[in-house]
């Protein structure tokens, strides 16, 4: 974990621990700070270059929190955090992960029943001890037990790829109701965040009861968490909650704005509304009790002096300022990719033939595709040794001729970067290829210095066109490798090498924050699916979403170029 992530986690936990004890306002400051640190550049670097003052330039970080960051950088711990955790065992904080348990309940369970962990809480609930507490009853005791079960089953937030599919299914089933005249996803799903905590759906309907009855009895509903006439909430069998809101047409835009979020974006927008003498909620923008706007998002933002911002960048990370000043980025459109440049076939660990992958690319409407099977050292993935590589190139060249006029087929490779930064094909083989993606597949735990040197060396190889999945992370499963991105960005730019935005839902690598930093530095990107079968090519949507979340424009992504221009680009 990077220092930023470590500090963010500590601040976030401190916010919870303070809130448990009923401390006013501080928790919000710590929560804001956690987010700010997470989104900021490397704090170690900021501190080294600009000292405490530079840290205080991070919005949300004042003198006191800057000192805590410095304390952590220097001594590896924060005294005040240690004191807080001494008072409250970490198990008490863990209880807050149970659905329906927040800071106040966790605190009371600990204070009044001396419960220190989720396991102890489960025992106490089963023994019927919770219902004896004031404000608790048999129902809440049962809900806590169910919440513990759900927590045990769940593996963290759901991947966008899966949640997107679930969202489509729910919307598809609800659309069958003639009582629903409009339906849209909201929340993190609409923002296309890499992981999704719950699926939000908004509808316009004249018959809320029918909608709610249908929604709460959909085939994959495990249990109903709440059911009202304007809002209902269910837990899906897949372990993720889904929420629905029923609205009137005059409020739909307001609700869409409100429920798309994110929370920080909304708070900032509502503060602007207040300053201008309005009130903004999910029903509209009001002056006193008079509705000023609400039908569409555009009209609400317009009254506030803002241009509508694409949902993917509504994170309160600079988009509101850009919206105010008319400097919003022109984000890369979802239909702008002209070719997939990272694909696998049966020759290594893919499941389709080379020709099937080419046909799939044609169906995607692409101008070009690169076939990039694994290299020698990837034994588990049946990586191609030099002899098979040349045979495969031969096959690709034949198919290139066969499909000439329909699509341009590039002979490529995903060549592994060895621990010392060398590549596992010699240059004389790389020379035979049209397109080379270089990726790290081993020795993930190298130090930041070693890993950075390793990747930079690969970038400097004259045959390398792109670096595949540059952080190697697998969401919810594997930490990214430790890399100094400022150096990788500089090397990539200097050597005209693109950094991949890998669209595979488990990867989504680079992350949105890396992309944003790279875009600012003028780095070029390539959005690929890393398809291991023909269906995976559809993942491109998630890669484009990730690029959009990183404020990337068409010009920042090389495989938006039509073939003639792309050909010139790779023959640089």
Partner DNA sequence: GCCGTTTTCGGCCCGACTGTTTTCAGTCG
Q: Which residues bind DNA (CB under 7 A)?
A: 24-26, 28-30, 32-33, 56, 59-66, 80, 96, 98-106, 131, 134-141, 143, 187, 197-198, 200, 226-232, 241, 243, 259, 263, 266-267, 270-271, 273-275, 279-283
Work out how close the CB of 49 gets to DNA at its nearest, in angstroms, rounded to a whole number: 19
Question: In the complex with DNA, which residue's Cβ is closer, 143 or 312?
Answer: 143
Work out how close the CB of 208 gets to DNA at its nearest, in angstroms, rounded to a whole number: 9
Residue 379, exposed/middle/buried by CB under 10 A (0-12, 13-18, 19+)?
Answer: exposed
The pairing of strands 284-287 and 279-281 is antiparallel
Work out how close the CB of 168 gets to DNA at its nearest, in angstroms, rounded to a whole number: 19
Question: In the complex with DNA, which residue's Cβ is closer, 195 or 554?
Answer: 195
Work out how close the CB of 61 gets to DNA at its nearest, in angstroms, rounded to a whole number: 6
Work out how close the CB of 226 gets to DNA at its nearest, in angstroms, rounded to a whole number: 3
Question: In the complex with DNA, which residue's Cβ is closer, 191 or 457?
Answer: 191
CA atoms within 13 A on the CB side of 243: 13
Q: Residue 69 CA to chain centroid, in angstroms?
A: 25
DSSP codes of every residue in 422-490: -BSS-HHHHTT-SEEEEE--S-TT--HHHHHHHHHHHHHSTT--EESSTT--BTTTBPPP---HHHHHH
Work out how close the CB of 211 gets to DNA at its nearest, in angstroms, rounded to a whole number: 12
Question: In the complex with DNA, which residue's Cβ is closer, 13 or 143?
Answer: 143
Q: Token pair for residue 406?
A: 């329909």
Closest CA to 532 of 567, 505, 554: 505
Work out how close the CB of 470 gets to DNA at its nearest, in angstroms, rounded to a whole number: 31
Question: Residues 287, 301: contact at Cβ < 8 Å?
Answer: no
In whole angstroms, what is the distance from residue 203 CA to residue 171 CA?
10
Tell me the H-state helices in 130-159: 138-153
Closest CA to 484 of 39, 51, 3: 3
Work out how close the CB of 209 gets to DNA at its nearest, in angstroms, rounded to a whole number: 11
In whole angstroms, what is the distance from residue 280 CA to residue 302 CA?
13
Question: In the complex with DNA, which residue's Cβ is closer, 138 or 419?
Answer: 138
Question: In the complex with DNA, which residue's Cβ is closer, 274 or 404?
Answer: 274
The pairing of strands 290-293 and 339-340 is unpaired
* Cα-only R_g, the chain: 26
CA atoms within 13 A on the CB side of 395: 17
Work out how close the CB of 138 gets to DNA at its nearest, in angstroms, rounded to a whole number: 6
In whole angstroms, what is the distance from residue 130 CA to residue 132 CA?
5
Question: In the complex with DNA, which residue's Cβ is closer, 137 or 462?
Answer: 137
In whole angstroms, what is the distance from residue 435 CA to residue 413 CA?
7
Question: In the complex with DNA, which residue's Cβ is closer, 228 or 333?
Answer: 228
Question: In the complex with DNA, which residue's Cβ is closer, 226 or 380?
Answer: 226
Work out how close the CB of 53 gets to DNA at its nearest, in angstroms, rounded to a whole number: 12
From residue 333, how far is each of 111, 192, 244 by CA, in Å? 53, 14, 28
Work out how close the CB of 137 gets to DNA at its nearest, in angstroms, rounded to a whole number: 2
In whole angstroms, what is the distance from residue 34 CA to residue 127 CA?
38
Question: In the complex with DNA, which residue's Cβ is closer, 262 or 495?
Answer: 262
In whole angstroms, what is the distance from residue 482 CA to residue 467 CA?
15
For residue 414, which phi and psi values (nearest 5 degrees)? -100, 95
Work out how close the CB of 15 gets to DNA at its nearest, in angstroms, rounded to a whole number: 10
Question: In the complex with DNA, which residue's Cβ is closer, 255 or 491?
Answer: 255
From residue 7, how far is each of 35, 60, 75, 468 by CA, in Å? 10, 14, 13, 29
From residue 458, how far is each of 84, 168, 431, 436, 485 by CA, in Å? 46, 41, 15, 11, 14
Question: In the complex with DNA, which residue's Cβ is closer, 173 or 281?
Answer: 281
């Amino acid at each position: 974990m990077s220092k930023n992530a470590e500090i963010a986690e500590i601040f976030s936990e401190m916010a919870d621990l303070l809130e448990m004890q009923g401390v006013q306002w501080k928790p919000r400051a710590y929560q804001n700070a956690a987010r700010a640190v997470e989104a900021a550049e490397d704090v170690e670097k900021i501190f080294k270059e600009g000292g405490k003052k530079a840290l205080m330039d991070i919005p949300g970080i004042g003198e006191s929190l800057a000192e805590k960051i410095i304390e952590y950088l220097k001594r590896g711990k924060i005294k005040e955090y240690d004191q807080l955790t001494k008072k409250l065992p970490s198990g008490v904080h863990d209880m807050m992960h149970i659905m329906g348990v927040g800071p106040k309940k966790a605190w009371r369970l600990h204070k009044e029943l001396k419960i220190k962990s989720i396991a102890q809480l489960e025992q106490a609930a089963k023994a019927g001890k919770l219902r004896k507490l004031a404000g608790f009853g048999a129902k809440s005791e049962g809900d806590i037990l169910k919440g513990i079960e759900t927590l045990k089953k769940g593996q963290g937030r759901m991947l966008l790829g899966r949640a997107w599919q679930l969202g489509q299914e729910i919307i598809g089933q609800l659309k069958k109701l003639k009582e629903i005249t409009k339906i849209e996803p909201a929340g993190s799903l609409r923002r296309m965040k890499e992981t999704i905590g719950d699926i939000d759906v908004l509808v316009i309907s004249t018959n809320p009861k029918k909608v709610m009855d249908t929604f709460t009895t959909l085939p994959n509903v495990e249990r109903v968490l709440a059911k009202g006439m304007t809002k209902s909430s269910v837990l899906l069998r897949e372990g993720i909650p889904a929420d629905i809101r029923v609205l009137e047409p005059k409020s739909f835009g307001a609700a869409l704005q409100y429920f798309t979020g994110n929370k920080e974006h909304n708070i900032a927008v509502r503060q602007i509304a207040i300053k201008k003498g309005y009130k903004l909620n999910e029903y509209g923008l009001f002056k006193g009790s008079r509705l000023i706007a609400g039908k569409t998002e555009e009209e609400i933002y317009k009254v506030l002096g803002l241009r509508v911002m694409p949902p993917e960048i509504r994170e309160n990370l600079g988009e509101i300022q850009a919206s105010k000043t008319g400097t919003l980025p022109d984000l890369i459109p979802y239909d702008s990719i002209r070719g997939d440049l990272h694909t696998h076939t049966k020759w290594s660990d893919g499941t389709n033939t080379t020709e099937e992958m080419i046909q799939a690319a044609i169906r995607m409407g692409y101008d070009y595709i690169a076939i990039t099977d694994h290299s020698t050292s990837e034994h588990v993935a049946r990586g191609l040794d030099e002899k098979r590589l040349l045979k495969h190139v031969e096959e690709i060249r034949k198919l290139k001729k066969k499909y000439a006029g329909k699509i341009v087929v590039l002979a490529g490779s995903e060549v592994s970067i060895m621990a010392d930064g060398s590549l596992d094909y010699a240059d004389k083989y790389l020379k035979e290829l049209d397109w080379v993606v270089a990726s790290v597949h081993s020795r993930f735990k190298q130090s930041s210095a070693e890993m950075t040197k390793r990747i930079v060396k690969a970038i400097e190889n004259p045959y390398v066109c792109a670096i595949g999945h540059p952080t190697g992370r697998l969401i919810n499963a594997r930490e990214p490798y430790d890399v100094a991105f400022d150096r990788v960005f500089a090397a990539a730019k200097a050597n005209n090498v693109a950094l991949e935005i890998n669209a595979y839902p488990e990867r989504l690598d680079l992350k949105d924050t890396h992309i944003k930093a790279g875009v600012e530095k003028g780095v070029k990107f390539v959005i690929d699916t890393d398809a291991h079968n023909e269906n995976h090519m559809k993942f491109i949507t998630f890669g484009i979403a990730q690029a959009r979340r990183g404020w990337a424009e068409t010009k920042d992504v090389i495989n938006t170029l039509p073939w003639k221009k792309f050909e010139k680009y790779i023959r640089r």
